[in-house]
């Protein structure tokens, strides 16, 4: 039987190694393209895309596969097949009493959890083998991928609505694409980058870029004890004190809802959330990231002043292109800072 899995030790291990794979969730094509061009990323052709191999449970191009119930990797109790043992030796990866598979065809158990498997797959990635990343058939999601410095970068946006042809903004699309992308890519870190409305009462101005400290919903009103807290869904983001200090970014709280405008009830909730900026995706991304235990940071650039004089929709469209450029610059600075660092160093 495999040794018991210690989540605390696993988390410490994850935080003590340099970030390798970054998943950027972004809602609109206008926001995504400056970053795609900055990092010279390539668009994947269809729903099956190739990226540097780093996770177990996916197919590898070639004659053999690894996945649940195949090649000795079984659900409930991770096992390593002899073929993988040979590969670990070939790649110079460490062999321990828990990871060594016998050469005579017997299969030895390895600890539950992804630590060994990730080390193995990182090594395999260096050989040029590719992981096939598969999204559900028929979805309009778009993935841009490539390498920048020592990072594997994936930008995912939900694509266009197939009926109306507009960007698939909002919490439903962002939650779905975040979940599927985490499952397919197993990122070390998520960045939810995008535009947002800002509040002049909290000091926000057009073009300001905020690193978010907390996220919450403002339109999930459930006036029942405890359910009301669930509706708000308050969550802390990944702590990044060094990014804040060294990049001199502004910090603020984010409130999320599925409407671009703001009704009276939404306004009351946003004030209760003490939000500086509001968007239509952040809290949904945070919910999924928290559910799947992936650290997430949120970078939001202000396109419109919610409590200002101009209509929100008019001001948003007027400033979108220019603010997307400011967002690109800020996200690029954050990614440059992350390169070579562990989560705990951010």
Q: Is the dihedral of CA 135, 140, 146, 150 positive or negative?
A: negative
Compute the distance between CA of residue 196 and CA of residue 277 in angstroms, rounded to an integer. 6
Checking if the pLDDT of 79 tops 60, the result is no
Over residues 166-192, the mean pLDDT reads 96
CA-wise closest residue to 298 among 154, 208, 194: 194
% of residues, the chain, pLDDT over 90: 66
The pLDDT value given to residue 8: 54
Compute the distance between CA of residue 98 and CA of residue 116 in angstroms, rounded to an integer. 10
Which residues are CB-neighbours of 206 under 8 A, at least 6 positions away?
Answer: 198, 302, 303, 304, 305, 315, 319, 323
Does 304 qualify as catalytic in the annotation? yes
Residue 227: phi and psi, rounded to 5, are: -60, -30
Mean pLDDT (the chain, rounded): 80
User: Lowest mean pLDDT: which of 12-21, 146-155, 302-311, 323-332?
Assistant: 12-21
Contact 122, 92 (CB under 8 A): no
Task: Give the domains, in start order, of the chain with CATH numbers.
Answer: 7-47+138-345 (3.40.50.1580), 59-126 (no CATH)
The pLDDT value given to residue 98: 41
Checking if the pLDDT of 56 tops 60, the result is no
Compute the distance between CA of residue 306 and CA of residue 114 in angstroms, rounded to an integer. 44
Instruction: For 233-271, write each residue's pLDDT tens digit.
Output: 999 999 999 999 999 899 999 999 999 999 999 999 999
Checking if the pLDDT of 124 tops 60, the result is no
The pLDDT value given to residue 44: 85
Does 46 qualify as catalytic in the annotation? no
Instruction: For 208-238, write each residue's pLDDT tens digit.
Output: 999 999 999 999 999 999 999 999 999 999 9
CA-wise closest residue to 121 among 48, 56, 187: 56
Q: What DSSP string runs through 84-139?
A: HHHHHHHHT----TTTPPPTTS--EE--SSSHHHHHHHHHHHHTT-EEEEEPPTT-
| 108, 219, 297 from 287: Cα distances, Å | 37, 15, 12
Task: Give pTM, 2 decimals.
Answer: 0.75
User: Lowest mean pLDDT: which of 106-110, 138-142, 253-257?
Assistant: 106-110
Compute the distance between CA of residue 254 and CA of residue 297 in angstroms, rounded to an integer. 12
The pLDDT value given to residue 138: 86
The pLDDT value given to residue 13: 59
Looking at 167, 188, 214, 304, which residue is catalytic? 304
Residue 56: phi and psi, rounded to 5, are: -85, 150
The pLDDT value given to residue 59: 38
| 11, 19, 129, 335 from 151: Cα distances, Å | 20, 7, 17, 9
Looking at 31, 188, 279, 281, which residue is catalytic? 31
Over residues 76-83, the mean pLDDT reads 41
């Amino acid at each position: 039987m495999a040794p018991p899995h210690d989540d605390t030790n696993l988390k410490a291990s994850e935080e003590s190694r340099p970030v390798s794979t970054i998943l950027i969730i972004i809602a609109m094509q206008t926001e995504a393209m400056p970053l795609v061009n900055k990092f010279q990323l390539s668009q994947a052709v269809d729903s099956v895309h190739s990226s540097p191999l780093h996770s177990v449970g996916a197919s590898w191009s070639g004659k053999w596969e690894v996945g649940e119930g195949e090649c000795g990797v079984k659900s409930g109790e991770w096992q390593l097949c002899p073929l993988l043992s040979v590969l670990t030796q070939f790649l110079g990866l460490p062999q321990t009493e828990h990871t060594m598979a016998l050469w005579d065809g017997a299969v030895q158990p390895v600890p539950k959890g992804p630590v060994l498997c990730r080390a193995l797959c990182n090594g395999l990635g260096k050989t040029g083998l590719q992981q096939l990343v598969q999204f559900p058939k028929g979805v309009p999601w778009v993935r841009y991928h490539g390498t920048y410095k020592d990072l594997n970068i994936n930008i995912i946006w939900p694509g266009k609505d197939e009926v109306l042809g507009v960007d698939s903004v909002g919490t439903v699309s962002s939650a779905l694409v975040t979940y599927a992308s985490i499952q397919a890519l197993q990122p070390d870190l998520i960045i939810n980058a995008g535009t947002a409305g800002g509040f002049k009462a909290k000091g926000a101005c057009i073009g300001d870029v905020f690193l978010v400290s907390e996220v919450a919903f403002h339109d999930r009103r459930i006036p029942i004890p405890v359910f009301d807290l669930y509706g708000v869904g308050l969550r802390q983001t990944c702590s990044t004190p060094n990014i804040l200090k060294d990049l001199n970014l502004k910090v603020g709280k984010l409130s999320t809802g599925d409407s671009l405008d703001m009704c009276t009830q939404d306004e009351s909730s946003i004030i209760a959330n003490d939000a500086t900026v509001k968007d239509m995706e952040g809290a949904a991304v945070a919910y999924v990231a928290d559910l799947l235990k992936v650290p997430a940071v949120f970078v939001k650039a202000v396109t419109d002043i919610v409590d200002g004089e101009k209509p929100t929709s008019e001001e948003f469209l007027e400033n979108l292109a220019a603010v997307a450029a400011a967002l690109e610059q800020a996200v690029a600075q954050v990614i440059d800072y992350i390169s070579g660092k562990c989560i705990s160093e951010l």
